[in-house]
Structure 1
Amino acid sequence: MSLTSDIKEFALDLGYSRVGITTADSFSEYAAIMQSRGAMYEFLVQDPAVWLEVSEPKKLMPSAKSIISLVWDYSQKAFPEGLLGKVGRLYLSRSYNAPPHRINGSRYQLMLDFVKKAGCQVGQGIFLPERWAAARAGVTTYGRNNFAYAAGIGSFIVLSSIVVDAELEYDTPTVEVGCPEGCTACIKACPTQAIYEPQKLNPRRCITLNTLFTQDGMPAGLSSHISPEIREKMGTWVHGCDVCQEVCPRNRERLQAKLPDDEFLVMASRDFSLTKMLNMTDEFYETRAQPLMYNYIKERKYFQRNAAIALGNLGDPAFIPDLEQAMNDPEKLVREYAAWALGRIGGKLAKQVLETKRNLETSENVQKEIEAALLAV
């Protein structure tokens, strides 16, 4: 067999659903599009030159000739109802940027080792526009919701790539939108109108971004603050969001399929609750939050903030005692959003809690949230 055939066969043996090969040529169109989006994407990178860098694999690796594009299907097992609508399927699958000591991280490492042993030099630390690479390698098409789709699977996939110095056999590109003609289901369903046109997303309005990237110390004006308008539309999502994928007709078959249980997730769902995330113990953080949601959030206060928003949006007075407990948290961020959630739930008991805490609170930001919440109850 040829080297290309060997690589593809090994990838499929590892469990990858699709593998394609494309050239290491420039992704200049990608760079131009990203630069044209302006301030919406500044949080990702402040230096516009970086878009040019990631779009030119050969500048990062002069010997680069080919890109191996790999597709992992993370929807092969069912996701428990108790976790859906709270944590995105991608994160529940533990397959996105998985560490090497976990099964999904070791799979990619095995692929790297195979390619190296086959005599290829492998590019190190090269960030690529994965959806563009996969479409050019003929393994995915685009969706109007900005996701990549693999035939027979849908958009519940993780893409990864390997840049090598070998000239391999290249696949026919599938750089096209595969959505049904005229379908705008994802645009209509997006709670925050983050998808403002087909294939165009304002990430600052995206629920996923607001659950993950709104942290202090981030670039381009991002902070831990989430605007009240966005909070009210976040529903119960605390890490990611699947809405635009759930309504997509291209995912219907997989979403309706009877799939085997993921026993780890079944076990995790028994212990998982928004109230436990709000008033998080060390054990919950180590055994439930981090194994499922290790990608972007390292400080527990952001998990707690997201849980407070979710509880507020549920509007159930039964959560008032949990939110009252959170009003004693040492992190002022947690107290701010617990106050907002109490105002969102409303009622006599919520008002009593807010009035009591107003007299004790020392943080100016928390006091402002309490005053705003009191106006809402």
Structure 2
Amino acid sequence: MKVLKSGLDGAALLVQLRGWAEAEGFSQIGVADVDLGSAEAGLLAWLSNGFHGAMDYMAAHGLKRARPAELVPGTVRVITARMDYLPRATPEGWQAIEWQRLARPADAAVSIYARGRDYHKVLRNRLQHVADKLAAAVGPFGHRVFTDSAPVLEVELASRSGIGWRGKHTLTLHREAGSMFFLGEIYVDLPLPVTAPAQAHCGSCTACLEVCPTQAIVAPYRLDARRCISYLTIEHDGAIPVELRAAIGNRIYGCDDCQLVCPWNKYARRATLPDFDPRAPLGRATLLELWRWDEAEFLHRTEGSAIRRIGHARWRRNLAVAMGNALRAGVDDGLRAALVAAREGASELLREHIDWALGQG
């Protein structure tokens, strides 16, 4: 463990940290201790229930997620950071606009966070800039930056450091910022002063549990990823379970329903960075428009986007399901003809989803 230079005041250093972070586009900074022992039982129960689905890396890392000092030896504190991602031009009443999009079967619904630049890249670089400023102030120190990129209990650390509390949908909530933000961490070997934890304010509200299209939130604070539309359309690389396809509707990458319905998101804040502004046409595309992308266009259109990592094949699989749901709703708009035209040259996996889609209307 490093010792702060003589004369350096921890509280004053935390004020500096917040200033450096704000200059990089972050909205909030906290500091957590590394003792997450009380979270281990819940993590083990979640894994034993198989709620992580095919995300085998979660089971492989095991309790390392709850033991920061094992993940990065020497770690004694975790600096936590929040970055708001609602696009800068988001209008008032944005939730209603998103619900309206979901009610138009021929439109493509992409999760708000994924319409701009890949947040992994944005946060990682800017967190490193904060770490560099800290090193300039205190001298060289051991650290490692994380942005949803390693076995880190992000929500637990965020809760313990005052960034927010764990909502019943399992996402972090803040009384003055809702949940429309990203989390990032810097593991450090500096004994920085910890910040006070956040208190929970969900009360008796169960709106997120009730609205989930696939009932993936099986209990308050408990998510079965195998049923979650975000998992199915992003992490899952096989066939989407037939019994869940209808509930996916026109969601082709991620799902925002539990956040759209959350009362706290009336306080959601706009991003300060242009990185999260939506790229054309992801904020307004139709299913047919996106279906027409060949792999080259998909790669070009999603360059620098989080969407690119699912690949063209999975993208088409998701679109086929949404197109089938549109056909069932009585909307064609050229969807059937497009599916039929693509069937012959499709992979076995895609063909199965196309055949399902064609059978829906």
Query: TM-score, with normalisation over the residues of structure 2?
Result: 0.81
Q: In 2 relative to 1, CA 34–44 (structure 1 residues): closer, same or farther, beyond 3 Å?
A: farther
**Matches for 1:215-364 after TM superposition, within 5 Å:** 215=237, 224-254=238-268, 265=278, 267-269=280-282, 272-294=285-307, 296-297=309-310, 299-315=311-327, 316-318=331-333, 319-345=335-361
Distance 2:89 2:360 in 1: 33
**Matches for 1:62-141 after TM superposition, within 5 Å:** 62-78=73-89, 85=102, 86-98=109-121, 103-118=122-137, 119=139, 120-123=141-144, 127-141=151-165
Pick aligned residue for 1:158 from 182, 192, 216: 182
Conservation of the 8 A alpha-carbon contact between 2:79 and 2:187: yes
Q: Which residue of 2 aligns with 1:56?
A: 67
Q: In 2 relative to 1, CA 228–75 (structure 1 residues): closer, same or farther, beyond 3 Å?
A: same
Residue identity in the other structure for 1:17: S
Conservation of the 8 A alpha-carbon contact between 2:225 and 2:231: yes
Pick aligned residue for 2:217 from 195, 206, 210: 195
Greater relative contact order (CA < 8 Å, ≥ 6 in sequence): 2
Distance 1:171 1:263 in 2: 28
Distance 1:49 1:286 in 2: 31
Q: Which residue of 2 aligns with 1:212?
A: 234
Q: In 2 relative to 1, CA 60–8 (structure 1 residues): closer, same or farther, beyond 3 Å?
A: same
SS of residue in 2 equivalent to 1:40: coil
Task: Give, in angstroms, the shift of residue 58 of structure 1.
Answer: 1.6
In structure 2, list runs of 5 or more residues that go unmatched.
Answer: 1-8, 103-108
SS of residue in 2 equivalent to 1:238: strand
Distance 2:116 2:276 in 1: 12
Task: Give, in angstroms, the shift of residue 204 of structure 1.
Answer: 0.4
SS of residue in 1 equivalent to 2:281: helix
Residue identity in the other structure for 1:90: Y
Task: Give, in angstroms, the shift of residue 124 of structure 1.
Answer: 6.3
Pick aligned residue for 1:33 from 30, 36, 42: 42
Query: TM-score, with normalisation over the residues of structure 1?
Result: 0.78
Pick aligned residue for 1:182 from 198, 204, 207: 204
Q: In 2 relative to 1, CA 107–27 (structure 1 residues): closer, same or farther, beyond 3 Å?
A: same
Conservation of the 8 A alpha-carbon contact between 2:128 and 2:145: no
Distance 1:278 1:28 in 2: 47
Residue identity in the other structure for 1:236: N
How many percent identity over aligned positions? 26
Conservation of the 8 A alpha-carbon contact between 2:302 and 2:308: no
Distance 2:262 2:57 in 1: 33
Distance 2:264 2:282 in 1: 27
Residue identity in the other structure for 1:182: S
Q: In 2 relative to 1, CA 262–33 (structure 1 residues): closer, same or farther, beyond 3 Å?
A: closer
Task: Give, in angstroms, the shift of residue 46 of structure 1.
Answer: 6.1
Task: Give, in angstroms, the shift of residue 104 of structure 1.
Answer: 4.6
Distance 2:162 2:193 in 1: 12
Which digits, 9 at most, give the CA deviation of each residue in 1:235-284, with x for residues without a partner?
A: 111110001111111113449x9x99989526334884322332422443
Task: Give, in angstroms, the shift of residue 21 of structure 1.
Answer: 1.1
Is 1:9 the equivalent of 2:19?
A: yes
Task: Give, in angstroms, the shift of residue 51 of structure 1.
Answer: 2.5
Distance 1:114 1:261 in 2: 23
In structure 1, list runs of 5 or more residues that go unmatched.
Answer: 216-223, 346-377
The CA RMSD over aligned residues, in Å, is 2.9
Q: In 2 relative to 1, CA 260–289 (structure 1 residues): closer, same or farther, beyond 3 Å?
A: closer
Conservation of the 8 A alpha-carbon contact between 1:213 and 1:296: no
Q: In 2 relative to 1, CA 47–74 (structure 1 residues): closer, same or farther, beyond 3 Å?
A: closer
Residue identity in the other structure for 1:322: A
Q: In 2 relative to 1, CA 295–197 (structure 1 residues): closer, same or farther, beyond 3 Å?
A: farther
SS of residue in 2 equivalent to 1:158: strand
Q: In 2 relative to 1, CA 58–244 (structure 1 residues): closer, same or farther, beyond 3 Å?
A: same
SS of residue in 2 equivalent to 1:69: strand
Pick aligned residue for 1:169 from 193, 209, 212: 193
